[in-house]
Amino acid sequence: VVAVDVIDGIERYRSRVGRLVRSSPLPWEDRIVVGVVDERGGGGVVSLDAAKGKLVWTRKTGAVFSSPALAGLSRTGGVIVIVGSDDGSLYAIDAARGSVVWAEQLGGKVRATPAVVEDVAVAADFAGRVVALRIEDGRKVWTAELGHAVYSSPCVAGGLC
């Protein structure tokens, strides 16, 4: 992960996270959260201090190509990072501590960034499904079978996905 000053273009730090970064970084408070992939097909999610690039936490999952999304938990007031993985799961990870809040197996690889709308996360997988899960506990709300792999991120507008 490389940080460049937006004013003068000077590189401020280069953090080695031990894996390949394949997702767009997600800024949250004073941190950066990013998905990673290792050479053996594994991966995870890494949180770095945005100012210094120091590792805050790491969470092992399958390979992560999707960019993380943020969601708030109404019961606890906490914030979770929601990210898909090549192991076929959608993970909700505590943004502050890096612990897994819930994980739900969807079936196919999840490389698209999930959409977050109110209390639901909508994810798509390579098995051709679009799935809505409750943000609080990961329980499935509904599943739509599309019949083909989904590579792009779901978009929610006008009550439609």
Reported as a single tens digit per residue, the pLDDT across 74-113 is 888 899 999 999 999 999 999 999 999 999 999 899 999 9
Topology classification of domain 2-145: Lipocalin (2.40.128)
Quote the pLDDT of residue 102. 98
Reported as a single tens digit per residue, the pLDDT across 114-147 is 999 999 999 999 999 999 999 999 999 999 999 9
Reported as a single tens digit per residue, the pLDDT across 22-41 is 899 999 999 999 999 998 88
Quote the pLDDT of residue 160. 79
Contact predicate 102/142, CB 8 Å: no
Q: Sign of the CA dihedral 147, 134, 30, 36?
A: negative
In this prediction, residue 21 has a pLDDT band, given cuts at 50, 70 and 90, of very high
Quote the pLDDT of residue 47. 97
Q: Which two tokens stand for residue 6?
A: 């937006």
HEC readout, the chain: CEEECCCCCCEEEECCCCCEECCCCEEECCEEEEEEECCCCEEEEEEEECCCCCEEEEEEEECCCCCCEEEECCCCCCEEEEEECCCCEEEEEECCCCCEEEEEECCCCCCCCCEEECCEEEEECCCCEEEEEECCCCCEEEEEECCCCCCCCCCCECCEC
